[in-house]
Amino acid sequence: MLKMEKLQKVYRTEMVETYALRDFNLTVNEGEFVAVTGPSGSGKTTFLTIAGLLEAFSGGSYRLDGIDVSRMGDGERSAVRNRKIGFIFQAFNLIPDLNVLDNIEVPLRYRGYGSAERRKRAADALARVGLSARGRHYPAELSGGQQQRVAIARALAGEPRLLLADEPTGNLDSAMARSVMELLEELHRDGATIVMVTHDPQLAARAQRNVHVIDGQVVDLAAELTA
């Protein structure tokens, strides 16, 4: 589904060049659940934002469903992103002055659904994360775990085939983290491809495959250990 070869990402300021990704190689197949681990600053978030077509890259190639991303125009990129990809961030990124259902509807607007369809999808997604009773609440009235469930509902309301999660449990206590993980596992069983960045080795161990990133590169831990 996702194939990156020798991907480069350079951040340039007047003073310095930072290679956030250098020769980053990764293939994720349809239906996989991949956990990405690595030290802070190693390029994990950069990788996810490029994978999710939120940011451009500086070199190398990235194919999503066989399509060369560097050949997509801006319009096509956002259309593909809206249609195929859902995001879950560590900081939840809910809009504080919208209630829960309205928050979930935001990406559905970009997808062009009419208001009746949006309302139905938002309510269904909220039910999936077990928060039907909270639709009229505002984010500040919910616990961190509940806010992350709302953020997951927002990501899954559009039924994305690819779910990108950046430390989705980073701000949660371990019981909440486990229940968020269970939700992701359920979405995976239903067919979503999931790429999750995490610092939590117990959660990473539950994914089908672990990818370790150091200094902007994917490293093969097994090969390193036997070398």
82 in contact with Mg ion (CB under 5 A): no
Question: Of the ranges 24-32, 40-48, 87-95, 101-109, which one interacts with ligand ADP (CB under 6 A)?
Answer: 40-48
Amino acid identity, position 144: G
SS3 79: helix
Work out whether 90 is an interface residue with ligand ADP (CB under 6 A). Answer: no
User: Nearer to Mg ion by C-beta: 45 or 148?
Assistant: 45
CA distance readout (Å), 227 to 22, 221, 223, 224: 22, 10, 6, 5
46 binds ligand ADP (CB under 6 A): yes
Residues 6+ apart with CB under 8 A from 89: 151, 165, 166, 167, 168
| Residue 20 touching ligand ADP (CB under 6 A) | yes
Query: Is residue 198 close enough to count as binding ligand ADP by CB under 6 A?
Result: no
Residues 6+ apart with CB under 8 A from 224: none
Q: Which of 45, 99, 147, 198 binds ligand ADP (CB under 6 A)?
A: 45
Q: Is 169 an interacting residue with respect to Mg ion (CB under 5 A)? A: no
Q: How many CA atoms lie within 13 A of 184 on its CB side?
A: 34
Under a CB-based contact definition with an 8 Å cutoff, are residues 161 and 192 in contact?
A: yes
DSSP letter, residue 39: -
Rounded to the nearest whole angstrom, what is the least distance from the CB of residue 121 to ligand ADP in the complex? 31
Cβ–Cβ < 8 Å for 63, 69: yes
Shortest approach of Mg ion to residue 44 CB, angstroms?
5
String marking each residue 23-62 x if it binds Mg ion according to CB under 5 A: ---------------------xx-----------------
**Phi and psi at residue 135, in whole multiples of 5°?**
-55, -35
Residue 44 binds ligand ADP (CB under 6 A): yes
Which residue from 153, 206, 213, 182 is spatially nearest to 23, judged by alpha carbons? 213
Give the interface size with ligand ADP as a residue count (CB under 6 A).
Answer: 11
> CB under 5 to 8 A by kind: which of ligand ADP, Mg ion, none does 18 bind?
ligand ADP
* Interface with Mg ion (CB under 5 A): 44-45
Q: Contact residues for ligand ADP (CB under 6 A)?
A: 11, 18, 20, 38, 40-46
